[in-house]
Structure 1
Amino acid sequence: MMGLPFESGMLRSYFIAGTQDIKDKHKTLEEVVKQALEAGITAFQYREKGPTSLTGDAKAKMAQTLRELCADYQVPFIVDDDVALAVQTNADGVHVGQKDERVTQVLKEIGETMFVGLSCDTKAQIEIANQTVGISYIGSGPVYPTGSKADADPVIGVDSLANLVKASQLPVVAIGGITEENIQELPKTGVAGTAVISMIAQSEDVFRTVKTMNTTFEK
């Protein structure tokens, strides 16, 4: 079964989260994702990584719940670096990092059933992506220092981001350390939107945060 076809507008307000990102003990991941969907996010990526994250059946169950939530709102559900889980939940997309399973292998495994995003933070990586048929979009960063990823790469900054966008034949979504203040610097780089973890997961006002993302990158 085919999921939602990829379009670059999906990158405008792209929320990434797993249970490890919900720091407020009174909220569940499911509640935060539902709120973000109601607020108007354009994509959701389930990224369950870290020492406290779910594994096995609990992870599969959570993925299925979030998958159904996204389907209710007609928002693409993307799985981070887990092709088996993406297939099992009939996800719309799968996101692959440079350190994860090779993107060519992922493309072979999923065929035409879902779209694929790839993390690229150097020009060389972008050039390889340009030559790889089947990738739909690029995630580039971290643009700013970030505390959400223990394994984050060195910060690339706004100017380098603009150069990567120029080099890329695919739409690029910016990631890493983005806040409601610094997001204003990003439209001029040419990115299609921003992907955030803590900006939404730890927001005191998810509606305001998502609105800021969407209005910064109006169609």
Structure 2
Amino acid sequence: MGMKFEAGMLRAYFIAGTQDVKDKNKTLQEIAKQAMEAGITAFQYREKGPGSLSGTARDEMAADLREMCSDYEIPFIVDDDVDLAVKTNADGIHVGQKDERVGKVISQVGNSMFVGLSCDTKEQVNIANNIDGISYLGSGPVFPTGSKADADPVIGVDGLAALVKVSKLPVVAIGGITEENIVELPKTGVAGVSVISMIAQSDDIFRSVKVMNKTFQE
């Protein structure tokens, strides 16, 4: 059994894969380790898109990151890949609306890991409210983002607040979040923020993570 889900895990949630490392002098492991050292509350391995790893290289990277998360006692979450999640003994798995159907994922991972689901509309949130076995929702993109080629239309701060209002589950914001605009998010009622480039391309990871944790203090 992996780590039990708690809403506090969503406070400073870092999502990354090798494709998000733009500085060729850094490795994903180095960036992730710094982020963990700085106090992120969850890490999601999302290896997708041009330049991403596959096969053995991806499995080895996942195993490395998994071990790091265990050392820092934060949940290791895998994006959308049940086989990899099972192989790495992940704490959680995150599923998108376009990925494998969440019901199927829940039946596959059962009680061994928690499940997060991306929901960007009220209809999607209402459906999620009635599914047993989901722990949290990821909603966005709140702001325009460069990290996902297939990003959906921006929902904005008000759109995010409206989703939080109807959700029975804790919500983590995603999409285009920066150290400047993050201050607009606590009032929406989200439990925290998930970011890719705000950490992966930060010039000071300690500062960036500190901003996340301070903005969403218990």
**TM-score band, normalised by shorter chain:** over 0.9
Query: How many percent of aligned residue pairs carry the same amino acid?
Result: 75
Q: Distance in 1 between matches of 2:75 and 2:33?
A: 13
Matched, 1:204 2:206: no
Matched, 1:23 2:26: no
- What TM-score, normalized by structure 1, do the two folds share? 0.99
CA drift of 1:204 comes to: 0.4
Paired amino acid for 1:85: L
Matched, 1:91 2:90: yes
In the alignment, structure 2 segments of 5+ residues that lack a partner are: none
Q: Deviations over 1:185-208 (max 9, x none)?
A: 000000000000000000000000
2:135 partner SS: strand
1:218 partner SS: coil
Tell me what 1:157 maps to: 156
Deviation beyond 3 Å, 4+ runs, structure 1: none
Q: Distance in 2 between matches of 1:24 and 1:51?
A: 16
- What TM-score, normalized by structure 2, do the two folds share? 1.00
Tell me what 1:78 maps to: 77
Q: Distance in 1 between matches of 2:202 and 2:15?
A: 13
2:212 partner SS: helix
2:124 partner SS: helix
Report 1:139-150 matches (<5 A).
Answer: 139-150=138-149
Q: Distance in 1 between matches of 2:90 and 2:4?
A: 11
Q: Distance in 1 between matches of 2:83 and 2:115?
A: 14
Q: Deviations over 1:154-201 (max 9, x none)?
A: 000000100000000000000000000000000000000000000000
Report 1:27-46 matches (<5 A).
Answer: 27-46=26-45
CA drift of 1:80 comes to: 0.1
CA drift of 1:51 comes to: 1.8
Q: Give the root-mean-square deviation of aligned CA atoms.
A: 0.3
Matched, 1:217 2:177: no
Q: Distance in 2 between matches of 1:31 and 1:70?
A: 13
Tell me what 2:179 maps to: 180
Tell me what 2:120 maps to: 121
Q: Distance in 2 between matches of 1:59 and 1:146?
A: 25
Q: How many equivalent pairs are there? A: 218
Paired amino acid for 2:187: K
1:54 partner SS: coil
Q: Distance in 1 between matches of 2:133 and 2:103?
A: 9
Tell me what 1:51 maps to: 50
Tell me what 1:191 maps to: 190
Paired amino acid for 1:177: G
CA drift of 1:15 comes to: 0.1
